[in-house]
Amino acid sequence: MSVGAAEQSERWPVHLALVSAQTGFALFPIFGKLALASMPAFVLAALRVLLASALLDVVRRAGRHPSIARRDRGAVLLYALLGVSFNQVLYILGLSLTTAINTTILTATIPIFTLICAVALGHEAMTARAAGALVLAGAGALLLLDLRHFDWHSRFLRGDLLLIGNAVCYSFYLVLSRPILARYSALTVVSRVFLYGAGPIVLVAIPSFAGFAPARVTPLSWSSLAAVVLFCTVLPYLAISWALARAQASRVAFYVFLQPLVASILAVLVLGERLSGRTAVAGALILAGLALSIVRGRLPSRPVP
């Protein structure tokens, strides 16, 4: 096998993992809405992290993956706060104060914040290829979401600012957590991140649990919660962490642009919606940006601890 072919064979599992992860995240609004039909938002958030943490730890122990060394626990606590605690609380609070379209548009800023963060911290260099890819895919995402529908009214400002905070926290999580994956498996890191990150979310959710009646939750909501935990949380976080050990944080974050595209495709296939010209052009721009980001670009070696 030639060197080029070998590099291709190493790259594509990473890209497949990232596509799978963003597909899982794109499914969250669907399963999440079904779960929220009979379950408070913060109860859903708390159960999501608690069940994900328990499942990840069972799998970690079954696979005999080591735990985090004492010297690294402080760093992992920081990653947990950024990637789980602050991330989810800010997202849910922001969503409750602003519109769904504002939420989706602001989520698409994650790749931009991640690249800025990585460059500012000296983890990556700004290249013309990266800037061009961001412009193409960003334009496609905004076209798909239609920026004209963004509601600029001041009553939504607090929610929008919280969502921007969510995007910044997740961007720092992607950039800062990458080096530790050189020393531990993705399963070890993600299981500890969820374990450490669950506490603050549970504390915030305590008032919601006070009036929560599990008997009133429908079977559909319970099964949707199970789907949220497995397909929209555990598997995507594992896939992203595995990919972070093999690709730059900005490239991992770049795949966030696929979320609105995946959601649009699902709307066509599942809900029977028509494929509009806007969707086709937006999809082409997103895929063009993705291609510019990955074609002829070598994945870097594992990060230095």
Q: Which pLDDT value is given to residue 130?
A: 81
How far is 242 from 250, CA to CA, in rounded Å?
15
Average pLDDT for the chain: 85
The answer to whether residues 267 and 30 touch, using CB atoms and an 8 Å cutoff, is no
Q: Which pLDDT value is given to residue 95?
A: 81
Instruction: Name residues whose C-beta falls within 8 Å of residue 225's C-beta, 6 or more positions apart in sequence.
Output: 31, 35, 39, 44, 47, 48, 51
How far is 259 from 272, CA to CA, in rounded Å?
19
Which of 156 and 74 is assigned the larger pLDDT? 74
Structure tokens at 93: 């609070």
What distances in angstroms separate CA 272 from CA 30, 135, 204, 275, 284, one per listed residue? 15, 30, 39, 9, 21
pLDDT higher than 90, residue 150: no
Chain length of the chain: 305
Q: What is the pTM of this model?
A: 0.82
Structure tokens at 134: 């961001």
How far is 238 from 258, CA to CA, in rounded Å?
18
Q: Which pLDDT value is given to residue 9?
A: 45
Nearest C-alpha neighbor of 183 from the set 73, 106, 105: 73
Taking the alpha carbons at both ends of the chain, their separation in whole angstroms is 30
Q: Which pLDDT value is given to residue 232?
A: 93
Which of 226 and 66 is assigned the larger pLDDT? 226
Rounded mean pLDDT of 135-160? Answer: 76
Which of 228 and 281 is assigned the larger pLDDT? 228
Which of 276 and 121 is assigned the larger pLDDT? 121
Query: What b-and-e string marks burial along 16-28, b requiring 16 or more CB atoms within 10 Å of the CB?
Result: ebbebbbbbbbbb
Q: Where residue 127 falls among pLDDT bands split at 50, 70, 90?
A: confident
Q: Percent of the chain at pLDDT above 90?
A: 44
Q: What tens digit of pLDDT does each residue of 186-219 get?
A: 999 999 999 999 999 999 999 999 989 999 999 9
pLDDT higher than 80, residue 245: yes
How far is 34 from 216, CA to CA, in rounded Å?
14
Q: Which pLDDT value is given to residue 6?
A: 40
What distances in angstroms separate CA 25 from CA 17, 152, 239, one per listed residue? 12, 26, 11
How far is 58 from 77, CA to CA, in rounded Å?
20
pLDDT higher than 60, residue 298: no
Q: Which pLDDT value is given to residue 271?
A: 61
Q: What tens digit of pLDDT does each residue of 71-87 get?
A: 999 999 999 999 999 99
Which of 1-10, 33-42, 199-208 ranks highest by mean pLDDT? 199-208
Structure tokens at 94: 């922001």
How far is 9 from 200, CA to CA, in rounded Å?
41
How far is 25 from 163, CA to CA, in rounded Å?
16
Q: Which pLDDT value is given to residue 10?
A: 56
Q: Which pLDDT value is given to residue 295?
A: 62
The answer to whether residues 286 and 132 touch, using CB atoms and an 8 Å cutoff, is no
DSSP 107-125: HTTHHHHHHHHHHHTTSS-
How far is 1 from 24, CA to CA, in rounded Å?
33
The answer to whether residues 204 and 23 touch, using CB atoms and an 8 Å cutoff, is no
Q: Where residue 18 falls among pLDDT bands split at 50, 70, 90?
A: very high
